[in-house]
């Protein structure tokens, strides 16, 4: 089942032996992207909200370099965010981005002005070099235009740079677009090098970490070894239970734990009767046959489908499934004598969300189904070996651990399963039809070589029957909706532009091959305004 973050830190991240970079978060919407760019360079970094960074915590973290993120505030506002003074005195390179640049200039003796006089810039801009050279700009300004496209998003701007700094790049709205004090290894830019719209931005991060002396030793091979040692140290000879869903996060968690502690681990696979065609058998076979791990296949479909009978409200469905999941998991876990730990596949974005002052949606659109709450309820301690990783790092780790590529590349599947793809009442008949239609649809997508281009695709069964004609007879059968989206993180999504030929062929196949369906719709709603799932 999907795992979510708990708001406390379990791993002592300060024990890692890698070079470490600290990103002080001033609340930018894109701070996570800075971390992404750095991880791509095999640099270990953590994002800490500025409120939590003190002189002491800085020293304890012992960064080899520091980055100040952007942020929405104005340095001229009293009480606006600041890094601790110690940051400037540690003798490590610092890179300030947008608000981070302004805060550096302000703190070090320069001047920032409010964004009047048409100097605010939002969106694409072009930076041209000055006559000064800096290794920080290696690989920049190389093409014939002699300029670089960057992404600006600032109201205020630097009006006077701090002593020791010089200007290395300018844009129409930001005369101090790129500034540096080479003697102190302080760099400060007004734009956002981490976003897509600064196409050559990654080069600046690469130059910065090179100048700071990073070895680029953060690899998933090394991570695997270190994490195995850490798990052994944390768990000792105690027993661990893990809820396995067959999704990438819980699978990698389970396999890593199994490598570390073998038979001390028991995985529980809760089959709620809302899985796809043959899914339960495939998941169980994969883990038992390939990994030989202790696996309890908890077939509780009668219980779940019984409780869901007659329920059509989406939130009620989710709540029933979430609660039953916890009850069932607990029932099986209780049978494992002496279990002291629960393994969860919490990822780094969940951890950031749980501490960031800017993060997290304020309105509950859907209550996500998860195992959060279980450890407290059961008095278990947590093992979360993926807490430091982004999703693509988890996939790489999965490869390292020998998970088949077909498993690693699978589209996301929600915890409540087919329940939220069956609007209205859930019946066994509808689930049966839905499973078959979904299998044909996914088969079509694979046959056309589109599976990896699409972020998520699935069929849903609509709560209505419509009239059709097949052969010479009237039909009155269910309608199926097909959904396919592209997305980066599931937060926003575009519907996938299939060709008419593909849609026609798929519709024909579904109606011919799946008894009980006589009509197929394609859902061309993006998110927002739609959500990806139908409920
Ligand atoms: P929505 O439908 O909210 O979905 O646009 C965004 C992504 O989240 C998945 N999803 C869930 N995943 N538990 C999960 O682990 C849930 O309760 C849940 N609901 C939706 C959905 O499949 C999509 O990938």
Strand pairing partners for 519? 479
Question: Environment class of residue 346 by beta-carbon count within 10 Å: exposed (0-12), middle (13-18) or buried (19+)?
Answer: buried
Return d(Cα 170, Cα 127) in angstroms, integer. 5
Return d(Cα 321, Cα 416) in angstroms, integer. 6
Return d(Cα 376, Cα 176) in angstroms, integer. 52
Q: Residue 348 — φ and ψ, nearest 5°?
A: -60, -40
Cβ neighbours for 147, distance < 8 A, ≥ 6 positions apart? 126, 127, 128, 129, 141
131 marked among binding-site residues: no
Confidence at residue 10, expressed as pLDDT on a 0 to 100 scale: 33
CA of 317 to the centre of ligand 1 (A): 14
Minimal CA–CA distance to 361: which of 491, 487, 490, 486? 491
358 marked among binding-site residues: no
CB within 6 Å of ligand 1 — which residues?
2, 366, 368-369, 412, 414-416, 456, 490, 527, 531-533
Confidence at residue 511, expressed as pLDDT on a 0 to 100 scale: 97
Give residue 412's Cα distance to chain centre.
12
Q: Which of 247, 315, 368 to mutate to test the pocket of ligand 1 (most atoms within 8 A of CB)?
A: 368
Return d(Cα 179, Cα 162) in angstroms, integer. 10
Question: Environment class of residue 517 by beta-carbon count within 10 Å: exposed (0-12), middle (13-18) or buried (19+)?
Answer: buried
249 marked among binding-site residues: yes
Give the pairing type, strands 157-160 and 111-113. Answer: antiparallel
153 marked among binding-site residues: no
Element (H, E) at 177: strand 174-181
Minimal CA–CA distance to 511: which of 466, 458, 456, 450? 466
Question: Ligand 1 atom closest to Cα of 367?
Answer: 17
Return d(Cα 105, Cα 112) in angstroms, integer. 7
248 marked among binding-site residues: yes
Q: Specify the residue with its C-alpha closest to ligand 1, atom 14.
A: 414
Active site residues: 98, 192, 194
The answer to whether 328 and 298 have CB atoms below 8 angstroms apart is: yes
Confidence at residue 364, expressed as pLDDT on a 0 to 100 scale: 58
What's the DSSP call for residue 289?
I
CA of 90 to the centre of ligand 1 (A): 43
Question: Ligand 1 atom closest to Cα of 322?
Answer: 17
Strand pairing partners for 96? 68, 188
Q: What is the Cβ-side half-sphere exposure of residue 482, based on CA atoms within 13 angstroms?
A: 30
Tell whether the torsion through CA atoms of 402, 404, 405 and 407 is positive or negative: negative
CA of 83 to the centre of ligand 1 (A): 36
Q: Specify the residue with its C-alpha closest to ligand 1, atom 18.
A: 414
Question: Ligand 1 atom closest to Cα of 368?
Answer: 17
Kindly report whether the global pTM for this prediction surpasses the value 0.85. Answer: no
CA of 23 to the centre of ligand 1 (A): 29
CA of 436 to the centre of ligand 1 (A): 21
517 marked among binding-site residues: no
Return d(Cα 34, Cα 40) in angstroms, integer. 10
Domains of the chain plus CATH, in order, are 19-212 (3.40.50.880), 220-408 (3.40.50.620), 425-522 (3.30.300.10)
Question: Ligand 1 atom closest to Cα of 487?
Answer: 24
Return d(Cα 219, Cα 329) in angstroms, integer. 34
Instruction: State the helix-helix crossing angle for 391-400 and 220-235, rounded to 10 degrees.
Output: 90
Confidence at residue 12, expressed as pLDDT on a 0 to 100 scale: 38
Q: Which of 323, 460, 490 to mutate to test the pocket of ligand 1 (most atoms within 8 A of CB)?
A: 490
Strand pairing partners for 186? 94, 181
CA of 491 to the centre of ligand 1 (A): 9
Return d(Cα 373, Cα 431) in angstroms, integer. 29
Confidence at residue 348, expressed as pLDDT on a 0 to 100 scale: 82
Q: Which of 532, 534, 535 to mutate to test the pocket of ligand 1 (most atoms within 8 A of CB)?
A: 532
Q: Specify the residue with its C-alpha closest to ligand 1, atom 12.
A: 414
* Cross-sheet strand order for the sheet of 20-25: 44-49, 20-25, 65-68, 94-97, 186-189, 174-181, 166-171, 121-129, 148-154
CA of 414 to the centre of ligand 1 (A): 5
Report residue 163 as tokens.
């002593």
69 marked among binding-site residues: no
Minimal CA–CA distance to 246: which of 230, 225, 267? 267
Instruction: From first to last of the 535 residues of the chain, give the pLDDT tens digit.
Output: 333 333 333 333 434 578 999 999 999 888 988 998 999 999 999 999 999 999 999 999 999 999 999 999 999 999 999 999 999 999 999 999 999 999 999 999 999 988 765 567 778 899 999 999 999 999 999 999 999 999 998 888 899 999 999 999 999 888 999 999 999 999 999 999 999 889 999 999 999 999 999 999 989 998 999 899 999 999 999 999 999 998 999 999 999 999 999 999 999 999 999 999 999 999 999 998 889 899 999 999 999 999 999 999 999 999 999 999 989 998 998 899 889 999 999 888 777 654 444 443 335 566 665 555 666 777 889 999 999 888 889 999 999 999 999 889 999 999 999 999 999 999 999 999 999 999 999 999 999 999 999 999 999 999 999 999 998 899 999 999 999 999 877 878 899 999 999 999 999 999 999 999 999 999 999 988 999 999 9
Angle (CA) 128-33-168 rounded to 5° is 20
């Amino acid at each position: 089942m999907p795992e979510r973050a708990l708001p406390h830190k379990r791993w002592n991240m300060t024990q890692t032996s890698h070079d470490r970079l600290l990103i002080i978060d001033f609340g930018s919407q894109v701070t996570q992207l800075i971390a992404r760019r750095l991880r791509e360079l095999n640099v270990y970094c953590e994002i800490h909200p500025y409120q939590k960074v003190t002189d002491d915590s800085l020293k304890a973290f012992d960064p080899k370099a520091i980055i100040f993120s952007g942020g929405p505030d104005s340095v001229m506002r009293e009480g606006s965010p600041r890094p601790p003074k110690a940051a400037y005195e540690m003798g490590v390179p610092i890179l300030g981005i947008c608000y981070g640049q302004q805060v550096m200039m302000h703190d070090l003796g320069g001047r920032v002005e409010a964004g009047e006089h048409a100097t605010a810039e939002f969106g694409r801009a072009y930076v041209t070099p000055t006559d000064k050279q800096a290794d920080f700009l290696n690989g920049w300004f190389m093409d014939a235009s002699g300029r670089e496209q960057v992404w600006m998003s600032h109201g205020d701007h630097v009006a006077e740079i701090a002593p020791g700094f010089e200007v290395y790049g300018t844009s129409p709205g930001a005369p101090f677009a790129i500034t540096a004090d080479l003697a102190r290894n302080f760099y400060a830019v007004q734009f956002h090098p981490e976003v897509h719209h600064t196409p050559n931005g990654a080069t600046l991060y690469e130059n910065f970490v090179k100048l700071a002396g990073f070895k680029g030793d953060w690899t998933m091979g090394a991570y695997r070894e270190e994490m195995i040692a850490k798990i052994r140290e944390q768990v000792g000879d105690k027993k661990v239970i893990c809820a396995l869903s067959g999704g990438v996060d819980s699978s990698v968690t389970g396999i890593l734990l199994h490598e570390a502690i073998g038979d001390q681990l028991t995985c529980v696979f809760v089959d709620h009767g809302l899985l796809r065609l043959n899914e339960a058998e495939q998941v169980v076979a994969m883990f038992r046959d390939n990994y030989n791990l202790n696996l309890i296949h908890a077939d509780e479909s009668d219980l779940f489908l019984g409780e869901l009978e007659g329920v059509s409200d989406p939130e009620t469905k989710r709540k029933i499934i979430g609660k039953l999941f916890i009850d069932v998991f607990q029932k099986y876990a209780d049978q494992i004598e002496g279990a002291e730990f629960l393994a969860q596949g919490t990822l780094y974005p969940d951890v950031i969300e749980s501490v960031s002052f800017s993060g997290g949606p304020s309105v509950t659109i859907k209550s996500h189904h998860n195992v959060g709450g279980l450890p407290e309820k059961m008095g278990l301690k947590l093992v979360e070996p993926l807490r430091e990783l982004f999703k693509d790092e988890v996939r790489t780790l999965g490869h390292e651990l020998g998970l088949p590529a077909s498993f690693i590349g699978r589209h996301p599947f929600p915890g409540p399963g087919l329940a939220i793809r069956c609007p209205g009442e859930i019946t066994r008949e509808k689930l049966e039809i839905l499973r078959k239609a979904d299998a044909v649809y996914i088969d079509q997508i694979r046959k056309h070589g589109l599976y990896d281009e699409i972020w998520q695709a699935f069929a849903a069964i609509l709560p209505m029957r419509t009239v059709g004609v097949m052969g010479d007879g009237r039909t009155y059968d269910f309608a199926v909706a097909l959904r396919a989206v592209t997305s980066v993180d599931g937060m926003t999504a575009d519907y996938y532009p299939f060709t008419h030929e593909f849609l026609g062929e798929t519709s024909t196949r579904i109606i011919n091959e799946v008894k009980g369906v006589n009509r197929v719709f394609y859902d061309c709603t993006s998110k927002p305004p739609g959500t990806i799932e139908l409920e």
